[in-house]
Structure 1
Amino acid sequence: MIRVSSEEELFKEIRSAHFEGRKVSIIGFGSHSHKYKENAISTQGMDHFEVKDDYVVALAGASVPKIREEASEKGLLFPGLYDGSVGGMLALNHVSPISFHYGTPKEFTVWCRAITFLGGINWKIFIGSKGKLGAISKAVMRLYQKPRRIVTLEKSYSDARDLVEDFKKGVEDRPIAVLVEYDKEFKLHMTYSNDVEYPGFSKDDGVPVVEEGDKNSYVVRTEGLKEFVELVEKTSPIYAYTVPGTGMSKVYVADEEVLKGFEYYPSDSVSEVYLKLKKLLDYKSIFE
């Protein structure tokens, strides 16, 4: 594994790999980093970041948890719930329950730079490309005022119609995080920064998180909650979840055939738009 500590070193390694025709994988750290290979380029040494005013400027190897901690000490919120590096979060465009209010990383990022064999390119299209177009190296991201307190309301449903109705009512009180899960039954989580009460809901502290993997899972295009319910009813997944407003759901199914008719791709792959761009930005296909 090759370790780099600057954008210059990263460019040198990528350019060398391009002209030599070598495959490379870009990795950071965290439980999601399962791509360890001899040809991996690690950005862990590119760990510098600076919290200034309402923004954070960070290199790819900067720790998301550390950014959240420093921002919190200054009364600010970094809206990424991710256990690894900035580069990994952006490469995945990692969706979390707080994406409901603050948007996905692509939305709260002002700009990001990726390194290709041509050099650095400032273009947000690299966010979500999973390192298949180039190596994300640096980004400027927005920070927000930290809520003084949070409370999460939770409720399970056997009837999806009740879920949809409660969601419509809950949105009126402007939750800062929403997660809808399906595991033999539907479950709604809504997190607020103000005191709210809904009959039939239990209360919990903190923001809900999803423990997940990529095996037998697919990302499916869903416009809203009703489309997620339709997806579940038609596919009967082992497990599924969505964050309304992000335009996507993740489902775990034993047979991919049940997804016919939906717009989807495997969780360890990328959407068609990135595969088309790869022919332009990585025509030798060195990025795995």
Structure 2
Amino acid sequence: MDWKDHLAKLTPLKEGLKGKVSTEVNVTPSSFEEVEEIIRLANALNLKIYPFVGNSRHFGPSISANVGVDFSSLNKIVELSEEDLYVTAQPGVSMIELFSYVKKRGFLLPSFYDGSLGGMLGTNLPGPFSTFFGYPRDSILMGIIVTGDGKRIKAGGKTLKFSSGYKIHKLLTGSLGWYGTFLEATFKIYPYPDEMVEVSVSPNDAQQLLRSELRPIGIISFKDRAKVIFEGSSSYVRELEKRFTSISEWRPESFRYPNKKFITSISVTRGEELRYLYDYPFEGEAFLGTGYVRFFSDDKMQINGISEKGDIPIKVSKSSLLVKNALDPKWVMHTVEVNPTSYV
């Protein structure tokens, strides 16, 4: 019996993806159990899995897999706790929808992305709040995960107080689906501020603000200027208006990532992100996080960093391989070809 016949017994088959990502068939599971069964079958039949939601923002080199697993049907906002300050949702949820849902209830979700929750977890991209709040990896409290060997596990806890054990949910965040995939994720939320404003300044001024007592929540930098984002009470914003001549309201819902050919990231000394940023000539935009800089450009960056978009070889650390072999021993979730000479 052909492997497609085996798979069709579990779930309806759909036409596969074509282009940068190619799959022979796609499936759209509607339950956690279905996802587990699909991955277990892939282990038994030596198939390769590509998890995605929409596939509109693929990162990294071209991919070829047997089965594309579309998580768009797992799209529920599960729970919001006003007492313990967290929100839980499934990977198919739109992050803009989730952000708005949390905001309407008077809270701020500091992890922002203009795609799906699953896409944000896979890429761990910084956003407009990363300078202060860090990356999605810093905000995630708990995850329900299916690893590459088909095991469902819960990692972390819904509050920091009760979070213990291995931080597998943080390892998976930013792994591009290489170790396994999320079924559900819980994030820390905060009371929504009275106001959010943006200030346009020079790169040198942005560097000073980054290290000042004003503590901006985000910095989006361009070649010759920077957009600095602040949030706080109305009285705090009135004080900012006295200090800056160019200040205006900023709406997170209007934020979108730039559409560039290459995305490259580097790890830097925390607090020195802008200084490192301007050591590299670039045309485009850069987002600053807690010890990281991510460049969005149409030209390939000649830097010793990590490529996230564009046909550039992926470098894999030895520690990543150890995690890979532990969580996905048959390399079912092997969504990128890794050359042994690329190990670092």
Which among 2, 7, 31 is matched to residue 32 of structure 2? 7
Partner of 2:19: none
Which among 98, 101, 108 is matched to residue 77 of structure 1? 108
Which protein is bigger by CA-based radius of gyration?
Answer: 2
Secondary structure, counterpart of 2:187 in structure 1: strand
Partner of 1:186: 225
Aligned length: 276
Partner of 2:151: 119
Given that 1:77 and 1:143 are in contact with CA atoms closer than 8 Å, whether structure 2 keeps it comes out as yes
Which among 251, 262, 266 is matched to residue 307 of structure 2? 266
For residues 23-81 of structure 1, what are the alpha-carbon distances to aligned partners after superposition, in whole Å with 9 as ceiling and x for unaligned? 11101137425889772101111112222322212222223222222222211122221
1:86 to 1:154, Cα distance in 2 relative to 1, 3 A: same
Secondary structure, counterpart of 2:69 in structure 1: strand
For residues 111-158 of structure 1, what are the alpha-carbon distances to aligned partners after superposition, in whole Å with 9 as ceiling and x for unaligned? 112212241133221111110111111122222111122111112x3x
**TM-score of the superposed pair, with normalisation by structure 1:** 0.83
Opposite residue 192 of structure 1, the aligned amino acid is E
Partner of 2:211: 168
RMSD, aligned CA: 2.7
1:130 aligns with 2:176: yes
1:192 to 1:112, Cα distance in 2 relative to 1, 3 A: same
Given that 1:60 and 1:136 are in contact with CA atoms closer than 8 Å, whether structure 2 keeps it comes out as yes
What is the correspondence of 1:7-156 to structure 2 with a 5 Å cutoff? Answer: 7-29=32-54, 31-32=56-57, 39-49=67-77, 50-53=79-82, 54-116=85-147, 117-121=149-153, 122=155, 123-124=168-169, 125-155=171-201
Separation (CA, whole Å) in 1 of partners of 2:315 and 2:189: 27
**TM-score of the superposed pair, with normalisation by structure 2:** 0.71
Where in structure 1 are there 5+ consecutive unaligned residues? none
Separation (CA, whole Å) in 2 of partners of 1:76 and 1:224: 27
Given that 2:263 and 2:294 are in contact with CA atoms closer than 8 Å, whether structure 1 keeps it comes out as no
Separation (CA, whole Å) in 1 of partners of 2:123 and 2:274: 21
Separation (CA, whole Å) in 1 of partners of 2:135 and 2:266: 16
1:180 to 1:78, Cα distance in 2 relative to 1, 3 A: closer
Separation (CA, whole Å) in 2 of partners of 1:270 and 1:83: 26
